[in-house]
Amino acid sequence: MKFKTFLQRTAIAFSLMLAATGVLAAPLSYQLRVDGLACPFCAYGIEKKLNAIEGVERVETNIKDGAVIVIMQDGFTLDEATARKAVKEAGFSLRKLEPAQSVPNAGPR
């Protein structure tokens, strides 16, 4: 094996290993299905409550689908109980929380 090929393969293997351990993974994001959300003025309360959760980078709402994407800062995760509480405080109901990207089995921080 040529040295150049060896370096390329080593680099690829190392990258795959880092990705598998989450070191190179993109920030975690979650999709929340929110029931009862039907107007822009109401979306503000949900976004405000979710943005107040520690580690939340930003929140994006798709009112048509009743979906709210929560993007976390590096190293933070969001659990369903915390999301449910925030949505409830905004006056609405959380139907489902699901990872928008692969999420390791880590608890909330």
Binding residues (CB under 8 A) for other proteins: these are 33, 35-49, 60-66, 88-93, 95
CB atoms within 10 A of CB 79: 14
Write down the least CB distance from residue 38 to other proteins, Å: 5
Which is closer to other proteins, CB of 3 or CB of 41?
41
Residue with tokens 């029931």: 35
Alpha carbon distance 84, 10 (integer Å): 44
Alpha carbon distance 18, 72 (integer Å): 19
Write down the least CB distance from residue 76 to other proteins, Å: 22
Write down the least CB distance from residue 45 to other proteins, Å: 3
